[in-house]
Amino acid sequence: MIVVDLPLDRDFDIRSQAAQRFWRALEQRPLGPSPRALPIQTRHRLILALRAADGWLEGNSYRKVAQGLFGALRMPDRGWKTSDLRSRIIRLVKMGLRLVRGGYRALLRHKRKDKYDEL
């Protein structure tokens, strides 16, 4: 017999869901969806950010990173300095660097508002 000890704190709900998923795994039953799964669009943006940061840290210019991520066809022939794609790449690189430098921990604890936040 396995016993799970769950503290009655603000994370009780998520802990009990995790314990239930653990029990299902032990019983070789389908786990069901993760209660804290990130939306697809968020996951896609995080992946792009990490790839952009990797490319930039390898010494590539923002333009080369954009070519690698989005292809040469999306690159503007003129006006790269004022291009929306350039601004997007810069934001992605900054986000990727924040994740690499420890920001990934924020993904483990979603921001949520509950009754305990007001105490």
- Predicted TM-score of the model (pTM): 0.69
DSSP state of 109: S
58 contact partners, CB below 8 Å, separation of at least 6: none
Return the closest-CA partner of residue 4 out of 22, 29, 24: 22
Q: How far is residue 81 from each of residues 6, 85, 89, 92, 111, measured CA to CA in Å?
A: 54, 9, 12, 16, 35
pLDDT in tens, the chain (119 residues): 888 899 998 888 888 888 999 999 999 999 887 777 788 999 999 999 999 999 999 999 999 999 999 998 887 778 888 889 999 999 999 999 999 998 887 777 665 555 544 44
Contact 46, 53 (CB under 8 A): no
User: Could you tell me the residue ranges of all domains in the chain?
Assistant: 1-36, 40-108
